[in-house]
Amino acid sequence: MKQRTIFSNATILTVDPDDRVVDAVAVEGDRIVAVGALDETRSALPDANLVDLEGRTMIPGFVDAHSHLIMSGELGTLNVDLNSPPIGSVLSIEDVITRLSARARSTPAGDWIIGQGYDDTLIAENRHPTRADLDRVSQQHPVLARHISGHFAAANSRALEIAEIGPDTPSPAGGVIRKDASGAPDGVLEESAMFSVMVRVPKRSRDQRFGAITHAATAYARQGITTAQNGFTLGYELEDLDAAIAEGRVPIRVVAWPGLGVMRQLESGAISVGTSADRLTVGAVKLFADGSIQGYTGHLCSPYHIPFKGQREYRGYAAMSREELARQVDEIYAAGRQVAVHVNGDAAIDDFLFAVDAAQRRHPGRDQRPIAVHAQMTREDQLDEMQRLGVVPSFFTLHTYYWGDRHREIFLGPERAARISPARSALERGMRMTIHTDAPVVPMTPLLLMWSAVNRQTTSGKTLGAEQCLTAPQALRAMTIDAAWQLQLDESRGSIEVGKFADFAVLDANPLADPSAIRDIGVLSTYVGGERV
């Protein structure tokens, strides 16, 4: 017989269309069967077990609008953590070298040493580590240090040699191999240039890979997330997720976004997913239109505030031409799939809107919900166009906390920084939008994300663009029902309503009560399909 449970004595924020607040919810098996007052739920399920939530707050489990589950697990288990405060403790290039050297001493010569999360603008020297720095870590091991944005990496001589990158190697399309004064690669690889090294890193063992997935999924569950996202999923990663879920090693639901190559393999049947769609969904196909603003590779329409290396006209660059982006988006539409494109700068957003407009003309009549991932520099006229085309912006709102001060002072200047991630402007048009952490770019902390969207406070305590602050109910919606809607999964999750999965988070305080205190709220328990995970 199916398990029958009534959760009661709680402030239950249903996030249903009326934002109803109730005090009991009845669950049979993995589904919600009644929502309301205790006596109503009791008459629906007379013989159910009663779980007394002792006056706590229950919300729908958070739906992760965009992050990288597997990469988050790698940071927690396999890669050396190079983050600076407030996330980690690396303060200088010397710290980077020390951390990586410690790993090298316990790693057989020839094996790769991978670091993750350094931030050139937060370390004392204000620069990326170079080949020379990383050669001090080891000459016997290939060493790769990945930037916090995920858009840069620094390699030592051994790693460059393995990737066959030398003085005569030209920069690839959509990337830059940085060179020193003598013309030799200085080790820093921008955007697509980084992949020529990354593809040489051997796949980790099955145990390591599955361990990383379980580690991240457990950490997400602890934060109240019941549906996680894995942006830009490689073919073997999709197969890993499928197998790890089948083996019961993943306590939450997962949505994987394949790249275009993996989409083609799925279309041809070269890759398939066996796990039930309740646990693993293959979602939108992920493309990249530009890089990262804090790395000076976000593609802007007007120049950066403090010019990059003195170049006054420099505006970052596109990951591919507008025509190529349109061709790829068209291929995805033709396959009947949803598309999600990484866009940070307003020039990249222009390219994306051009591509979506063209694809919709050729394939009219479908509700594709194309996703603008990050959408940080979206202008008002671009919001109008997004609304016309049915594009869903997913804002990287936590940037206002972690990078807000530097956006104002270094990258964008006060005006553009104040309206970064214009979530309020989108809602005022009646659009639906979501907010995300992009973990492991920043840690998976949904309540800090919610607090940030409501307060837009930077790490120095200043407010960045008060006009774009959300109310707490708006922010909660963007992380639950609207995130589920963006993922085309709102029929089954995202709110506490009859017929949906019994996916909940129980909090030690009501996040709608005090906007300034949201970040201090703790997650007491997380339920997926009615089971406490």
- What does the binding site for Zn ion look like in residue numbers (CB under 5 A)? 231, 438
Q: Which of 520, 528, 530 is nearest to 228 (CA)?
A: 528
Report the distance separating Cα 388 and Cα 408, nearest Å: 30
8 or 292, CB closer to Zn ion? 292
Q: Which residues pair with 45 in a beta bridge?
A: none
Minimal distance in Å, beta carbon 396 to Zn ion? 8
Minimal distance in Å, beta carbon 152 to Zn ion? 14
7 or 396, CB closer to Zn ion? 396
Minimal distance in Å, beta carbon 371 to Zn ion? 11
Which contacts qualify for 514-523: CB closer than 8 Å, 24 or more apart? 515/451, 515/454, 515/455, 515/472, 516/451, 516/455, 518/447, 518/450, 518/451, 518/454, 518/472, 519/447, 519/448, 519/451, 519/452, 521/447, 523/222, 523/223, 523/224, 523/447
232 or 501, CB closer to Zn ion? 232
438 or 503, CB closer to Zn ion? 438
A 10 A CB-CB count for 415 gives 10
What Å distances lie between residue 328 and 11, 14, 107, 323, 478, CA to CA? 46, 39, 41, 9, 28
Report the distance separating Cα 222 and Cα 505, nearest Å: 9
Minimal distance in Å, beta carbon 213 to Zn ion? 17
Minimal distance in Å, beta carbon 66 to Zn ion? 6
Minimal distance in Å, beta carbon 387 to Zn ion? 24
Q: Which two tokens stand for residue 502?
A: 């019994």
231 or 370, CB closer to Zn ion? 231
138 or 229, CB closer to Zn ion? 229
Minimal distance in Å, beta carbon 520 to Zn ion? 27
CA dihedral 96, 100, 101, 104 (to 10 degrees): -170
3-state secondary structure at position 455: helix
Half-sphere exposure (Cβ direction) of 90: Cα atoms closer than 13 Å: 30
Report the distance separating Cα 237 and Cα 12, nearest Å: 36
187 or 298, CB closer to Zn ion? 298
73 or 231, CB closer to Zn ion? 231
Minimal distance in Å, beta carbon 398 to Zn ion? 12
What Å distances lie between residue 299 and 212, 346, 515, CA to CA? 33, 7, 34
Minimal distance in Å, beta carbon 231 to Zn ion? 4
Minimal distance in Å, beta carbon 286 to Zn ion? 8
3-state secondary structure at position 227: strand
DSSP 242-311: HHHHHTT---SEEEEEE-HHHHHHHHHTSS---S-TTTEEE-PEEEES---GGGT-S--SS--SSPBTTB
Q: What are phi and psi of 280, to 5 degrees?
A: -140, 120
Instruction: Taking each helix axis as running N to C, give the angle between helix 69-77 and helix 235-246, from 0 to 180 degrees, rounded to the nearest 10.
Output: 80
CB 4 within 8 Å of CB 49: yes
Minimal distance in Å, beta carbon 401 to Zn ion? 17
148 or 320, CB closer to Zn ion? 148
Q: Which amino acid is at 491?
A: E
Report the distance separating Cα 461 and Cα 298, nearest Å: 25
Minimal distance in Å, beta carbon 344 to Zn ion? 10
CB 199 within 8 Å of CB 207: no
65 or 391, CB closer to Zn ion? 65
Minimal distance in Å, beta carbon 294 to Zn ion? 14
CB 506 within 8 Å of CB 523: yes
67 or 156, CB closer to Zn ion? 67
A 10 A CB-CB count for 55 gives 9
CB 343 within 8 Å of CB 298: no
CA-derived radius of gyration, the chain: 23
Minimal distance in Å, beta carbon 71 to Zn ion? 9
371 or 528, CB closer to Zn ion? 371
70 or 219, CB closer to Zn ion? 70
34 or 439, CB closer to Zn ion? 439
Q: Which of 63, 519, 10 is nearest to 254 (CA)?
A: 63
Q: Which two tokens stand for residue 508?
A: 């030690």
